[in-house]
Amino acid sequence: MSTEVENCAKRRLAFQKTYSQEMGGWRKRSLIDDAKFETLANQEFEKRERKISNTEIAENDDVFAQNGGHPASPKPESVVITSYVIKLKEGLGSVARILKLFENTKTTLLHIESRQTRTKGRTFELFLECQGSKDTLASITNALHQHPVVQDGSVTVVGEKTPNKKELWFPRHISDLDKCTHLLTKFEPDLDYEHPGFADKEYRQRRKMIADIAFDYREGEPIPRIDYVQTEIDTWSHVYRQLKNLHPTHACSDYQQNFEMLERECGYSENNIPQLQDVSTFLKRKTGFQLRPVAGLLSPRDFLASLAFRVFQCTQYVRHGAKPDYSPEPDCVHELLGHVPMMADPTFAQFSQELGIVSLGAADADIEKIATLYWFTVEFGLCKENGEIRAYGAGTLSAYGELKHALSDKPKVLPFDPDVTSLQEYTDDDFQPVFFVIESFEEMMDKVRQFSSRIKRPYEVHYDPFTQCIQLLNSKGMLHQLARNLHSELDNLQRAIDRIHNVTIN
């Protein structure tokens, strides 16, 4: 991403925080409401950016007029990106002569690539991608056709497009998650008078201490350990006992199996709050997911983007003991008891990552839909199991009252359909009034993949687990490399199938 795009992203996020205060806060309970707020804030940000830009143009016109000139009445030249394929009859030394055409022009060379060509009489083929005014690039095109190292008919314009002025920054490497720590909707106890810890000065100070640990954390560091005090352990114990009694009758089998493993391997117990580093190591071994400490509720884009790298942002603080069965925000009780057991399931982990990947660079309206899908699956999803309905969503599995309500006859239960689910309205006045039930995780993944394929983006992206990078699939070279890797994997798979088939026959 360019520095200009990243700087714009920083200005946008700073504005969102200010706008939240101007609007009296936007402290809702769901990722859906956060996404809707972000859409409104982005729209207002665009309006104010345009207003600032227009003001700057007017001021420049005034200065120009004061110096004896005239205001800039003509419209600015339209900027385009043009791509060329140029066949050269000389060696690579002629490339320098071609590039001289771009000197002293307000043109940016975005990409240069050379390769040998099979065309008789020409030794190299040059690919150039340039950005500049339409008139300037038209002049360069004419000059290329007349250049002595290029013969007639050897210059091909393979594409022309308008640069995307609303290009959104998103993390490209897992270390970029250090920049994805924007808390747009906080329920901090010293700001929200409805928070159970609002009047508890000691609790507020401890929350700030734990939040500072998360803010100071950087990718690759061991997650700092928290020495939990007895009041926090008592709150954890209360929730732990209540929920575990409901597991056999309310939780899906995958959740129960993984929960038992967490008890054996990560210190999950009624009287012990597990440390994030231990749980993260466990998850990394099981599904490649890892935990990262976070200070509170993240912006939807930041949170979803983290999932693309198989990173789950997890709080370390514990809800206030005055209301152990209720928390106005995610806390480690919700995340360790609700989210982590399902993150240890390979299929569910893959589903979570794919939701994160499809969010990268998506428009605000699509972020709202993705956040809504996340809410009614990962947070409050139900599934069918042996003819019965069970819970797999973290919001239900970490709240005693919500879990009993979800499997009662009170809420409306609908079949999962991404086109319907992504538009479902959400209310936070009471327990969830609507739930969506899936037949299986595999079917849910297939449906969401079909839904995701209709989300329009200027590019497709791919996550490389070896480099922990997001790759833009916007060049032939990148596509060929990915195809070769997939071909190798398919060959390996075919050999395994053949071996099993031969063993079965013999």
Give the pLDDT of residue 45: 58
Give the pLDDT of residue 235: 95
Give the pLDDT of residue 33: 64
Residues sharing a CB contact under 8 Å with residue 467, sequence separation 6 or more, in sequence order: 173
Give the pLDDT of residue 136: 86
Residues with catalytic roles: 334, 339, 379, 398
Give the pLDDT of residue 61: 45
Six-digit token string for 296: 């509170």
Give the pLDDT of residue 27: 40
Instruction: Give SS3 for 160.
Output: strand
Give the pLDDT of residue 71: 44
Domains located in the chain, CATH noted: 3-54 (no CATH), 79-161 (3.30.70.260), 174-452 (1.10.800.10)
Give Rg (Cα) of the chain: 28
176 close to 310: Cβ distance less than 8 angstroms:
no
Six-digit token string for 305: 């983007």
Give the pLDDT of residue 63: 43
Six-digit token string for 87: 């066949």
Give the pLDDT of residue 309: 97
In one-letter notation, the amino acid at residue 276 is L
Weakly modelled stretches of the chain, pLDDT under 70 = 1-77, 90-93, 115-123, 151-153, 161-167, 184-193, 427-429, 504-506
Residue-wise DSSP of 77-130: PPEEEEEEEEEESS-THHHHHHHGGGTTSS-EEEEEEEEE--STT--EEEEEEE
Give the pLDDT of residue 482: 81
Residue-wise DSSP of 445-478: HHHHHHHHTTS--SS-EEEETTTTEEEE--SHHH
Give the pLDDT of residue 19: 44
